[in-house]
Amino acid sequence: MNFKTTGILILVLAILGGYVYYGRINRVPPPRKETTFVYQYDISDIARMDVQYRGQTVSVKWDETNSEWYFTDQSDKKVHPDRANGLRVLLSGPGANRVLLTETATPEQLKEYGLVEPQVVATIALKTGRVHRVLLGDRTPDGNNYYIKNGDRDGVYLVDFTWGNEILRFVAEPPIVTPTPEQDSSG
């Protein structure tokens, strides 16, 4: 190879390297938008969760001594720990996709959002004894969000439809541990 070709290749490599370094690697990321939460609690503070949907209620409580979730109806069914803990994470503080209202909603607005007779009323009880209610209204016309209200406080928010669907599923498909065939035959 001659010196002229080598020089051109080195120049191209230097230009390409400079582009990658200054154009890609050294780029300042755009500022992150702060997430607005409808409310927030530490997940370890949640001791009981009651979810009411279409006339049915599923209630679970945390037993600190045994480190397990139990149904409050005294049934002998086992609570699926992953599902219960997943709900606890969701109910500890939903992130809002959008804040619709910061002031008190009018009765007409509450009706429009499905919050007069909400689809779901989720109640969480904290270890301190404090009780908190969350109202899940209708799905937005585009289907991407649910309307949500933080108990009796002012403000209406939009939360992602996946959050709302998981809350609904907790009642529609209760978190019951189903025994495997091996567990049935060994019992």
End-to-end, the C-alpha distance of the chain in Å comes to 79
Q: What is the pTM of this model?
A: 0.76
Report which of residues 114 and 1 the model is more confident about: 114
Shared domain for 89 and 136, answered yes or no, is yes
- CA gap 117, 98 in Å, rounded: 22
> How is residue 23 annotated by DSSP?
I
* 88 within domain boundaries: yes
Which phi and psi angles does 88 have, rounded to 5°? Answer: -60, -40
Q: How far apart are CA 170 and CA 114, in angstroms?
A: 20
In this structure, the answer to whether residues 27 and 43 fall within a common structural domain is no
Q: Max alpha carbon distance in the chain (Å)? A: 87
Cα 21 to the chain's mean position, in Å?
Answer: 38
Q: Burial level of 92, CB count in 10 A (0-12/13-18/19+)? A: middle
Q: Are 164 and 146 spatial neighbours (Cβ–Cβ below 8 Å)?
A: yes
Confidence category of residue 186, pLDDT binned at 50, 70, 90: low
11 plus 99 within the same structural domain: no
Q: Is 10 helix (H, G, I), strand (E, B) or coil?
A: helix
Q: Are residues 83 and 16 in the same domain?
A: no
pLDDT tens, position by position, 101-113: 988 889 999 999 9
pLDDT classification of 20: cutoffs 50, 70, 90: confident
DSSP-based three-state secondary structure for 8? helix
Confidence check: pLDDT of 26 > 70: no
- 127 and 89 in one domain? yes
Q: Are residues 125 and 58 in the same domain?
A: yes
Is residue 130 in a domain?
Answer: yes
Number of domains in the chain: 2
Q: Is residue 187 part of a domain?
A: no
Query: Percent helix, strand, coil in the chain (nearest 5)?
Result: 35, 30, 35
Give the pLDDT of residue 60.
95
Q: Identify the pLDDT of residue 131.
A: 95
Do 151 and 128 lie in a common domain? yes
Tell me, yes or no, whether 10 and 64 share the same domain: no
- The predicted-structure confidence for 115-173, as pLDDT tens digits, reads as follows 999 999 999 999 999 999 999 999 999 999 999 998 878 889 999 999 999 999 999 99
Q: Is residue 183 part of a domain?
A: no
Predicted confidence at residue 90, as pLDDT, reads: 95
Whether residues 74 and 116 share a domain: the answer is yes
Contact (CB, 8 A) for 160 and 99: no
Residue 185 lies in a domain: no
Same domain for 170 and 112: yes
CA gap 118, 159 in Å, rounded: 14
Domain extent, residue 109, equals 36-178
Residues 96 and 12 reside in one and the same domain: no
- Give yes or no for residue 7 having a pLDDT over 80: yes
64 and 25 assigned to the same domain: no
